[in-house]
Structure 1
């Protein structure tokens, strides 16, 4: 007899509950800010990806309102039929100029960007070599292709070279890596990875979801940080939902990349175009990050202070060098309990366990933003010290 839907749901949820892995998201009752309101409580927010404070920024909201009034609530069609508004193409030229690439295309999320770009480029007979800690969207995107898929050890150029040498092909060869790794907060050694890729004639594909707006001049990204922004053999993709405060994804690179994606990227071909208000907010974000260097200065000042104080207290932050600051608690139940206790102290910081991170490496992932004040961070550090000592972590 077939398994019923009720039995499947009950079994799966019970398994998650018994393992201490069942997730019940908290609900924000105020805008996404450095201080917000969650489940009826005023809290310091260390849980968001709102690096530059753009999610509730007045200039982004004003541009969104302007585009809403002028262009309407929605695009009304997929881009290839009747949904391409002039503002879409204007924004894509803005991204290409910011990224110093020959072309750029906007898609609907960072996740679908990886599906669309990898699916459009990779064919049977091609070889793709992926960092073992790459984001789930890369893993899922690669599974949808017919390319030969191999993995190299995390951020290890020597192992990448081994894999490339052992797997010769006449097809396209692609090396895929995150720019900044979202769980550990470390940066891919792109200078070494690109050098190895070029040795084998490979394209380097960088998902810079957590690097855009954070790394490089004016937040131009990890690729720029390492000096590869004008390279036609480097593809930059990412999300517009983190530092940029909105939603969507982008792909930027070779001058012909955009045209191929328009014709082959399935998320682009079969999804209604981005809403005008979103385009307006994102265009304003790109303008603002280039006009106001103090945003990135505050982001990095806050990051350095917070990390230094966590280290002084004795916490393990896994060597993170970016605003992503994991604090390790071991197993998932300990991380979840720490998150609950921090919330009781007025700090919103979410615990992460398996399968999001490896077993034994459960953590709370903190993200410091440009909007946090020193008082916000000192309150958070005081709470961390109290909770860490109570749980025997420090």
Structure 2
């Protein structure tokens, strides 16, 4: 039987290659950071990591991980409710809740699991989930697992969101779901307006803040702080794998009863091993660092402003905003692939994004700034982009 399937799969994969849609993984041979080594080239500047605060190889964070490894072991070999909860797991859950201004939080093996395990326990066939059309794939998959009615509103369109809410007047529970920062564009959701609509139509608000926690808002608490609605959001999902150290793991922070329900009913929590103690200990250290100083966050925002202005002055089409996600629009998938390859030859590590990750005709190079970048490295990146942009005809002159 596999002979037939093999041919079909090969044809599908070959078609991806022909159309410039095949994703090739590059192999890094060093620690994550602003400068990395790869199997094809050493000492390249990395501008496509979620390592926003540069903590993935921070010595204090790694030392905390080692200390937790020595104190609590390599792993728990179990799920939480059997024999997989240590004191540091509850310490981290309490710390996340405190950091975000929520009642409690619950840890997952990944942020994908946090979204995958949220909707089915909370929402039934009597309820409705209203989701932004550009929400992350993990939200889409999580919603599919629920029996609730599913509606989508046009991206960041408050008029359409209100229309969907009006269509949901007969449902028992209404849940509005949005990314805090949309990962492909770097746009920040209008949470203040979303909360106003939620109040008007008696709805709950859930935010996936994976690209916001630790870096957005006056103290890095996230989108709800940035939009001044800290007390008005009911559920926040997030990750430990980006700004908060960059390892792995996710969480849901919410009202107490919601977290309690997830501990009883959320399948990814009930049937997945506990996060390794080293990651928990390191994340506790990260939250301590972020609570004591804004230095890394300030540097990240300075780096972001420098890069955005430099690319704009060079003549590139970039998606406006202030987030360290900076999409450089090239529109066509093969061109994005070629652009990224030529930039690597110039010592700049970036990746082209194209369908199905972004809509057809909206291919781009997604640059991500980090607090680990130095000003001269940002200048070098802008120069390399300009050189390659002219070679490919993206820039004229």
TM interval, shorter chain, is: over 0.9
Residue 80 (str. 1) matches residue 81 (str. 2) = yes
CA distance in 1, matches of 2:71, 2:219: 29
Secondary structure in structure 2 of the residue aligned to 1:342: helix
Counterpart of 1:342?
Answer: 343
Q: In the alignment, what sits opposite 2:333?
A: 332
Could you list the per-position Cα deviations for residues 50-69 of structure 1 after superposition, in whole angstroms to 9, with x for gaps in the alignment? 00001001111011000100
Indicate the residue corresponding to 1:5 in structure 2: 5
**1:254 alignment partner in structure 2:** 255
Greater alpha carbon shift after TM alignment, 33-42 vs 100-109: 33-42
Give unpaired runs (5+ residues) of structure 1.
none
Residue matched to 2:321: 320
SS at match of 2:37: strand
2:149 is the alignment partner of 1:145: no
Contact 1:103/1:256, CA 8 A, preserved across alignment: no
Give 1:109 shift.
0.8
Other structure's SS at 2:125 match: coil
Instruction: Tell me the equivalent position of 1:22.
Output: 22
Partner of 2:114: 113
Q: Which deviates more from structure 2 when the two are superposed, residues 101-110 or residues 165-174?
A: 165-174
Q: Which residue of 2 aligns with 1:42?
A: 43
Asked if the contact 1:127–1:169 (Cα under 8 Å) also holds between the matched residues in 2, the reply is no
1:104 aligns with 2:139: no
Instruction: Kindly indicate whether residue 178 of structure 2 is the aligned counterpart of residue 171 of structure 1.
Output: no
Deviation at 1:330, TM superposition (A): 1.1
C-alpha deviation, 1:125, in angstroms: 1.7
Find the residue that maps to 2:43 and give its secondary structure.
Answer: strand
Paired residues of 1:228 and 1:234 also in contact (CA < 8 A)? no
Q: Is the 8 A contact 2:218 2:226 kept in 1?
A: yes
User: 2:98 is paired with a residue of what secondary structure?
Assistant: helix
Secondary structure of the structure 2 residue equivalent to 1:169: coil
Could you tell me which residue of structure 2 aligns to residue 369 of structure 1? 370
Structure 2 counterpart of 1:31: 31
1:297 aligns with 2:265: no
CA deviation after TM superposition for structure 1 residue 244, in Å:
0.8
Give the aligned CA root-mean-square deviation in angstroms.
1.2
Separation in 1 of the partners of 2:42 and 2:137?
Answer: 32
The separation in 2 between residues aligned to 1:180 and 1:2, in whole angstroms, is 42
> Aligned partners of 1:165, 1:364: CA distance in 2, in Å?
38
CA–CA separation in structure 1 for the residues paired with 2:269 and 2:341: 40
CA contact (8 A) 1:129 1:176 kept: yes
Determine helix, strand or coil for the equivalent of 1:363: strand
Stretch moving more, 98-107 or 8-17:
8-17
1:228 CA drift (Å): 2.2
What secondary structure sits across from 1:230 in the alignment?
A: helix
Alignment match, 2:226: 225
Aligned-partner Cα distance in 1 for 2:295–2:91: 26
Q: Provide TM-score, normalisation by structure 1.
A: 0.97
Deviation at 1:2, TM superposition (A): 7.9
Using the alignment, how far apart are the partners of 2:171 and 2:142 within structure 1? 22
Q: Give the number of aligned pairs.
A: 393
SS in structure 1 of the partner of residue 231 of structure 2? coil
> 1:159-198 maps to which residues of 2 (within 5 A)?
159-198=160-199
Query: Residue deviations 1:24-67, cap 9 Å, x none?
Result: 11011110001111223210100100000010011110110001
Task: State the 1:76 CA deviation.
Answer: 1.8
Matches of 1:375 and 1:169, distance apart in 2 = 58
Once the two structures are superposed, residues 282-337 of structure 1 have per-residue CA deviations (whole angstroms, 9 ceiling, x without a partner) of 11111111122111100000000100010001111121321000001111000000
* Deviations, residues 179-219 of structure 1 (Å, cap 9, x unaligned): 00000000001111110111110001000010101111321
SS at match of 1:243: coil
